[in-house]
Structure 1
């Protein structure tokens, strides 16, 4: 009986070892999540910092692209109109960037802080209050993920 239990235990251990390790990330997954608040640069209120957690695949190709944007209304409240097309028309402040070169689409999770500014286009100064953040990512395999939500904007 003992031999039978030992043999069964060995078979169970071997079966578990042969099954491989479970991955927390399915192959080909693309995802993005804005983390925390937008931080305003104290030296230049048109510049802010957005931290996000993301995963993408396919490496750096012509398809890889990241756009990060923060818009605020005049009263810095969470106005749902900021979620719509042409929402810059109701915005008092808008800072953005296309930091595609900083993205690593290697199938691993990354947490990074990205700088937004008005170097490409934008207007107004970021101020304390609520802002609508858009973190829109295309992986090298052209799979899209976005995190778009209201967050606190502060120094």
Structure 2
């Protein structure tokens, strides 16, 4: 009986010790998530707004870089081919941007809305339905993270 109680107590201590480590927020975390729907600018269908939540470290350095992209096929439905390299060849609309100046790599979570357009390069007009969204971030420490998914365009 004593052995069983000691064994149970030891298991409890191990569980408590490892649970604390699992709940702690790791130092140097880098992560990103595209949030919600994509919004088209009512005045210009080549412009859209992507909201994302991100965390990165290292401040603003030569390594800090953000690229945001929104692509659609002609039927404006999810198409797995949009996940492949050079998918612009099958795209009917593509708006993108490199809004690196908006990024704050201070080790804290941030939620921000980023504009994609044809200012740098793009073609076609975005329309309601589905689009493939890419949010690719290099933190100031060079750590790369991305969030890529199909999202509703509202």
Q: TM-score, normalised by structure 2?
A: 0.84
Distance 1:127 1:24 in 2: 42
Aligned to 2:56: 56
Alignment of 1:111-126 (within 5 A): 111-126=111-126
The answer on 1:129 being equivalent to 2:126 is: no
Gaps of 5+ in 2: 1-21
Tell me by how many angstroms 1:85 deviates: 0.5
Distance 1:58 1:38 in 2: 29
Tell me by how many angstroms 1:42 deviates: 0.1
Distance 1:135 1:26 in 2: 22
SS in 1 for 2:101: helix
Tell me by how many angstroms 1:25 deviates: 2.9
Distance 1:109 1:37 in 2: 20
Question: What root-mean-square deviation, in Å, do the aligned CA atoms of Structure 1 and Structure 2 show?
Answer: 1.2
**Aligned residues between the structures:** 133
Q: Deviations over 1:81-135 (max 9, x none)?
A: 0000010000000000000000000000000000000100000000001000000
Aligned to 1:101: 101
Larger mean CA deviation between 99-108 and 22-31 belongs to 22-31
Higher-strand-fraction structure: 2
Tell me by how many angstroms 1:139 deviates: 0.1
Distance 2:36 2:24 in 1: 23
Aligned to 2:45: 45
Aligned to 1:13: none
Cα distance change, pair 44–103 in 1 and its aligned pair in 2 (3 A): same
Q: TM-score, normalised by structure 1?
A: 0.84
Tell me by how many angstroms 1:24 deviates: 5.2
Aligned to 1:65: 65
SS in 1 for 2:49: strand
Tell me by how many angstroms 1:26 deviates: 1.1
SS in 1 for 2:68: strand
Distance 2:104 2:23 in 1: 19
Cα distance change, pair 123–24 in 1 and its aligned pair in 2 (3 A): farther
Alignment of 1:75-94 (within 5 A): 75-94=75-94
